[in-house]
Every structure is written in structure tokens, then in C-alpha cells.
Structure 1
Amino acid sequence: MKTLTALALSTLMLHAQPLLEPATQAVEEALRLHEVAGAVTLVSQEGEIRHLSSQGAAHLENGTPMREDALFWIASMSKPITAAAVMQQVEAGKLDLDASIDRYLPEFKDLKGPDGQPATITLRQCLTHTSGMKDLEAGEGADLHTLAELTARIGPRPLDFTPGSQWRYCQTSINTAARAVEVASGESFPDYLEKHLFGPLGMRDTTFYPNEEQASRLATSYERQEDGSLRAVPLSFLFGKPVTSHDRYPRGNGGLFSTARDYHRFALMLLGQGELEGHRCLSPESVEAMSSVQTADLQTGFTPGNGWGIGCCVIQHPQGITAALSQGSFGHGGAYGTQVWIDPAKQRVFLLLVQRSNFPNSDGSNLRQAFQNAAAKALE
């Protein structure tokens, strides 16, 4: 069995893949410091994969090395996928970004603002975190099995602020948008995504509910301890159930699992203005809505210089962690450190997949910055 040190400094490649050595070195440093147990990184330019690396361990305790096809909980990287599904239904004329949400979900017809007065919210506000909706309390969703059950529970709750007046990251608003897709399409959200996005794009490993084979490739999640060691931790949203269980609602906000190659195909579709390999998933206008700022001058998170598009963070002023990216780059991070950035100006995609549960700010992690800076410099 390999030692931890050997795992941390090794790169396992299932096939001969292109490497940007500075990018692998940036990850190696994070592995050496036990910031993460392992990582899969991918960088492409003009549709060509220039770097694909699997480093470190998928499971420290039994010495399982990370694989290029390792499955990760991508958490909030699910949000752009949910946004794409909404935009498809907008294009079909079945949803309107600016209509009152109760047109599709009557459970919101008696919605009240923070002052107790009648209020309305829109899908645009749901997808830009400006709706004012309340999130569930910790552990509250354990008994929910469908998106319909979720919206029935949150629909009657008063808003935290007047819609459109603030930006506040909100999980329930994204799940509300996912439920609207179900109502508009007449399909369950998992079935809809498989039929209209994952299947057409060849994303065979992207799912809310991994099968046994996929689960065998799942990278273990770790929490960094005060002594610098890494301790395996469960995925909290599973509430102790196996990852293969269907006994949970399909979280459009952050319930998907995926691989580097799979998510890269979704990113390439967006980079291609909604088209990949002759298959059109979205119109250029829909991609424009996702990748352009919809939040005006509202201050948004989670790092400086950003605005928010439909389901995506948009870089307005590259700085700090986003300095290596062009203005207008867009994407999304995940709670356990995963990240995608799509850079239309330079036709690049950056993908970082890790599973670390307690980054102080996963969107501002040193690993993310080091990887992006190293990869971008190597491409120049």
C-alpha cells in the first residue's frame, strides 16, 4: 500500500493525458500541506483539453489513489445546470423569467413580504439570489422526498427582504426554479435533466442518484483538523443514507454528482453559445442571460468583483482569486471546494474537483487561486 506521503505527491493517470506541470505542482503543494486528500483538475482551451490530472487519494484510509474518472459531489456547481433547464423552458415558451412565480406554483400565491404585505417573486430573482426567500433550517429537509413537498413547505413562509433589493445566497430559491421546470415540462427534474441535457451532451456520470458502479468511484470527503490531519466526513445532505438511495428530493441547488470530463462537456456547451458537437441545448440568448450580470450594482458574494447572472457567478472586475481570468468569465463553485470557470474571451475552461468540507471560504481557497494562476500562466 502506498504511504500517505507517496499518495500526496503522486499523479495517477489512467491514460496518457496532457499535463500543464505548473498546475500539477500547485495541487501537489496543497496535497503536501494536507489541504485536500486528492484532486482532479482539467483545463481546456478552444475546446482542446490541455491538462487533465488526477492526484493524491480518493480514499486515504485504504490507499485508493484518485482516478481521472472519480465521481465528486459537485454541490452548487449544480446551479448552472438548473439554470440551463429553466432557460430551455423559457425558450419553449412554458416559463417566463419575469412572471410571478405563482403562475406556475400556486403555493406562492399568498406570499408575504417582510412587512406582512403581499409580495411576488420571479424566476429571475430566484436564479440570481435576489428573491428574499428563506432557506430551510439545518436538517429540516431530511423528511422531504420531492421538490413539490419542498415548495409546499416554503411557499407560505414570509420573505426576508423585498425581492430585488438585496443579494443573499439562497438554496430554496434555486430548488423553486427546479420545481417550476417540473411543472412546465410535466417531467420529474432528474428525468428532465437526463432527457434534455445529460443524455444529449453525453454526460453519463452526472446524476442525483449514483448507481453502485458510480458510487464505487466516489471521492471521499474530508475535514481538515486543527492538527493538520484529514478526517473522513459524510455528505451532510444525505442524512446518513447511502449515496445510491433515492430517498431524497433532487436538489437543483446542489445535489448532483459528476466527473471532470462530464462537467467539461456542459461547460463546452456554454462556451459554444449553447451548442456542442452539432447538438444545440440552448440558444445564444439564453447563454447570454446566464453569463451576463443581472443584479445591477447589488453587492454579491463570495469574492470581490463579481455580479450574478442566471444561475452563474460573473466576473466583472478580475482580482485576487479571479485575477487569472478575463472580465466576463462565468461559472460556479461548490461547498466542498469544486469550481468551474468558463472564460469566453480566451476560450478556456478551468475545472477543479476536490472534496474538502471545511474550507474557510471554498470560493476563495488558496488551492483554487494557485491552480488557476499556474494553469493560466502555462497557457500563455
Structure 2
Amino acid sequence: MTFSPAHWQSRLDALRAAHHVPGATLAVFADGRIHELASGLLHRGTGVEATTDSVFQLGSIAKIYTATLVMQLVDAGRLDLDAPVCEILPEFSPAGAPGADRAITVRRLLSHTSGLTGDFTYDSGRGDDCLADYVRAARNVALDCPPGTAVSYSSVGYSVLGRIVEVVTGRTWDQALKERIVAPLGLTHTMTLPEEALAFRTAMGHLPGDGPEPEPAPAWDMMPRSAGPYGRVLASAADVLRLAKMHLDGGATADGTQVLGARAVAAMQRWEVDVPDRWTVSADGWGLGWSLYDWNGVPGYGHDGASVGQYGYLRVVPGADVIVVLLTNGGGARRLYADLFRELLADLAEVRTPPPSRRPRTRRPST
């Protein structure tokens, strides 16, 4: 089905208003082209309008950037997926059963099967040593389950992966991201630090207020710099789509530059573990970074993200050559995503997404 900008602009406007989302940007790859739409306001207090080049906080979609960095190093033979993390970071020693530290591997961090608990928020400052300090501070973080036994979604694990990138490359995570992903892909509206966002139209998060419309959050950015590898990337919807398009194209850019090897791209999308509880994690399975979906036999991958009052959604349907990215700044963002993606994916990729109440499948699809 051909993408109709006028039709989808109308649907974005209507659904955004119906679900009280202040502003949203949408980027869609279909028909071999990138289509960009915007709707509403970046900030209800100032009245600044959302535009297609507006920058939003991506939340956990940042994990795909970190996973891509890690897999570049694996692809180059500089990192072993199955190496114990403690061999790379001797200071990494989570609390748990004896030997648990050696059972936590790079692969298990990427696939959220390390057993590490979900969150450990620690402000280790703005210095270039912030991730090193974070990993030292997290040495006694508890395990939710023994490594390799279940999905235990862990942002902690991705900060550890970010530190691994630093140790292997000799660059900060932020620098590695700019040099190894942002620059090769020509991502002009992607950054990691709040002061870098001042040059762009930037979305403000919104939180529930007294009425039906959400109100601007009390502060724009509440995450420490050490949150970068798991949640602190800012970007336009089209820039997020260009990262996903590189993965869709076997790791190559539009000019043929190989940012990531095709085998590494395939490994990231390979089913590593089932997700039996879709209420906790919106996925059917997990690969190496990507959340994986089985839409009634149609495979896909993507990731969700959330920060304070900002929410992002990324879905890829490789069989249909379709990518959809939605970035929002509050209100009923998840309802907007569910309604809009249900219509978009059905129209563009003949995908029937399940209603939110559907119980998940608990077995991986046949290959």
C-alpha cells in the first residue's frame, strides 16, 4: 500500500488530540522513501510547535545505539560475546551467588538475561569518568535471578555495556557514539548531552495535571550522564529511522558504507530468549539489543523508550521493508502509539498487531 502523507497527517492529528498528547513526530520508511510528519506542540507552556526536525529524549531506545556499538566491536574481533564481563571490567562484581559474576557475559547483558536488577540510579557526575564511577558504585547491585535463567530487563546492564565500549575503544561512550554511529550515518539531529540540544527545537516532557491535558514537567532533563548507554540519547524521529534503516539494510548506509557487518546485524535480530510476561516488557522475545515481535507469524523488531514525560516507539517489519518511529512528549502516548501503529502496520505491511489485553506467545517462532 502506498503511503499517503495527507491521510496519515490527518490520523496523527486526530489521534494525538484524542489521547491528549501535546506533540508528536512520526517518521515512516515505506515505498523506498522516508516520510516525516509532525503534530501539536513541543511545550504547552510556550506554545512552540512540533516540527519534523524536532528533537526528543529517546529513553530506552538508546539501548539500540549501545548494542550497535558493542556489536561493532564484536564484529571487528575486539570483543567476545561470551566473555565474562568481569574479565573486561575487573571492578564489576554484582552481589549474588558465588560465581555469578563469571556467568554474566556480554551476550547476557545485551539480551537482558544477566539476572541484574532493572534500575540503579546513581549520579556519578558530568565528568568523562562517570561510567567508570557508576560501574564501581554498582558492584553490590543485587541479582533478580541467576544469570541465564530468565529475562530480567536491566538498564544497569546497559551502563555496564557502555563502560565496556569505553575500555575497548579508549573513548568515552558519548565520543564512541558520535564517531562510530552518528558521523557515518550522517545523523545531524542526534546527541547525548543536554547542552547540545540547545541548538535544536527540543521537546519538553509533560506529566498529568489537574485537567485532561498534561502539564510541562518541572524540569526538562533529570537523568545523569551515566544514564547515557541505557537512556540518554536525543534525536529526531528521522534520525532514529536512519539508524534502524542501516540495520534493515544489513549494516550498510545509503552510500554503501558498512557501519556494521551483516552477520552482526543478523545476530542482533536472532531470537535469544522468550518474554513470557508481555505486561512487564512489550515484546515477544529478545535478541541482542532488539526487542522481537511475532505478529501472527510476521516477524519484526524494535524498541520502546521513556524518560520524564517523553515516550518513543520504534518498529521494523523487515519482510515489508517498513520502519515506523513515533516520538511524543506526554499524555496518553501509549494509546496514541497503539492506535496509530495498528492502522499504519496493517496498511503498509499487512501486520495485525494484538490488542493490549492479548496474552503473549511464549515460544519462539520457527526459523
Q: Under TM normalisation by the shorter chain, which class is it?
A: 0.7 to 0.9
Match of 2:49 in 1: 65
Q: Does 1:35 align with 2:13?
A: no
Secondary structure in 2 matching 1:106: coil
Match of 1:368 in 2: 337
Alignment map for 1:94-109 (pairs within 5 Å): 94-108=78-92
Q: Does 1:348 align with 2:326?
A: no
Alignment map for 1:210-229 (pairs within 5 Å): 210-211=194-195, 214=198, 216-225=200-209, 227-229=211-213
How far apart are the structure 2 equivalents of 1:294 and 1:85?
19
Residues 107 and 156 in structure 1, CA contact (< 8 A), matched pair in contact too? no
TM-score between the two structures when normalised by the length of structure 2: 0.84
RMSD: 2.5
1:265 counterpart (242, 251, 266):
242
Deviations 1:221-249 (A, max 9, x none): 1113353121100467626xxxxxxx733
Residues 111 and 156 in structure 1, CA contact (< 8 A), matched pair in contact too? yes
Match of 1:52 in 2: 36
Residues 35 and 224 in structure 1, CA contact (< 8 A), matched pair in contact too? no
Letter in 1 for 2:246: M
Match of 1:133 in 2: 116
Match of 1:285 in 2: 263
Letter in 1 for 2:269: S
Report the number of matched residues.
340
Match of 1:328 in 2: 299
How far apart are the structure 2 equivalents of 1:331 and 1:79?
11
Match of 1:274 in 2: 251
Letter in 2 for 1:251: G
Secondary structure in 2 matching 1:286: helix
Residues 205 and 214 in structure 1, CA contact (< 8 A), matched pair in contact too? no
Alignment map for 1:59-208 (pairs within 5 Å): 59-108=43-92, 110-113=93-96, 115=97, 118-120=100-102, 121-137=104-120, 140-141=122-123, 143=125, 145=127, 146-208=130-192
Distance apart, 1:135 and its partner CA: 4.4
How far apart are the structure 2 equivalents of 1:276 and 1:100?
32
Letter in 2 for 1:126: L
Residues 20 and 378 in structure 1, CA contact (< 8 A), matched pair in contact too? no
Distance apart, 1:92 and its partner CA: 1.6
Bigger shift: 173-182 or 299-308?
299-308
Distance apart, 1:159 and its partner CA: 2.2
Secondary structure in 2 matching 1:280: coil
Distance apart, 1:71 and its partner CA: 0.6
Unpaired segments of 5 or more residues in structure 2? 350-367
Deviations 1:108-162 (A, max 9, x none): 2x5442x456542011111111111134455x33657511111111124342320
1:310 counterpart (285, 288, 309):
288
1:267–1:186 distance in 2 versus 1, CA, 3 Å: same
Match of 1:4 in 2: none
Deviations 1:96-116 (A, max 9, x none): 1111001110012x5442x45
Residues 275 and 281 in structure 2, CA contact (< 8 A), matched pair in contact too? no
How far apart are the structure 2 equivalents of 1:374 and 1:22?
11
How far apart are the structure 2 equivalents of 1:137 and 1:78?
17
Q: Does 1:255 align with 2:232?
A: yes
1:196–1:371 distance in 2 versus 1, CA, 3 Å: same
How far apart are the structure 1 equivalents of 2:260 and 2:43?
38
Alignment map for 1:292-303 (pairs within 5 Å): 292-296=270-274, 299=277, 302=280
Bigger shift: 151-160 or 141-150?
141-150
Secondary structure in 2 matching 1:56: strand
Secondary structure in 2 matching 1:275: coil
Unpaired segments of 5 or more residues in structure 1? 1-17, 240-246, 320-325
How far apart are the structure 1 equivalents of 2:143 and 2:126?
21
1:93–1:300 distance in 2 versus 1, CA, 3 Å: farther
Residues 270 and 287 in structure 1, CA contact (< 8 A), matched pair in contact too? yes
